[in-house]
Amino acid sequence: MYPFVAVNLSIGRSDPENSLSKSKKSALLVVTTAISCGVTGDKMRWMPALMLFGLLAWVILQADLGKPNYFIQLGASVPYGDKIGHLVLFGGLALLLIFATRARQLVLGPVRLYLGVVLTLGFALLEEGSQLLFPARSFELLDILADILGVTLAALVTKAFYQFRAAYRRRNVAARDN
């Protein structure tokens, strides 16, 4: 019924011939499970955003519970690592969600916002606000600023990409017509 389930089960076993690293095995497990459950083609564009969201949710849960993990320790070991992490992770999530939503935009009067930006900012603000409820966490306005900066950079990169693509297509059409 599900042809890839056998692959999923074999990935987890220790096999001397299998030279995949643990992280590659995990990524392959997620992708093959998604394929075996019918997530293919057009729906697959959501997979990177969902995987990053899952990673973020796990890191947040670990932090809320006061449990150390690699990502929290890495952020603490680098100067401004926490802020860099916020910028990169939330900016990356925004970029992946913009891609997943096919750059759909919400129009709020004269302002046009990518749906991926709105979703990411909503999640970031809820997460940062929820830190007030957990004694193991500390609320910082600079974290929110880093989240907003990362999401803004993602929106600017997306806008630049679409402008570049439109100019490239115009040149190709003009060259073809001549």
Structural domain boundaries of the chain? 1-39, 45-177
* Dihedral of the alpha carbons of 112, 116, 122, 123, in degrees to the nearest 10: -170
- pTM for the whole structure: 0.76
The predicted-structure confidence for 48-105, as pLDDT tens digits, reads as follows 999 999 999 999 999 888 888 888 899 889 999 999 999 999 999 999 999 999 999 9
CA distances from 69 to 72, 75, 149, 173 (A): 6, 10, 25, 52
Query: Per DSSP, which regions of 12-104 are E strands?
Result: none
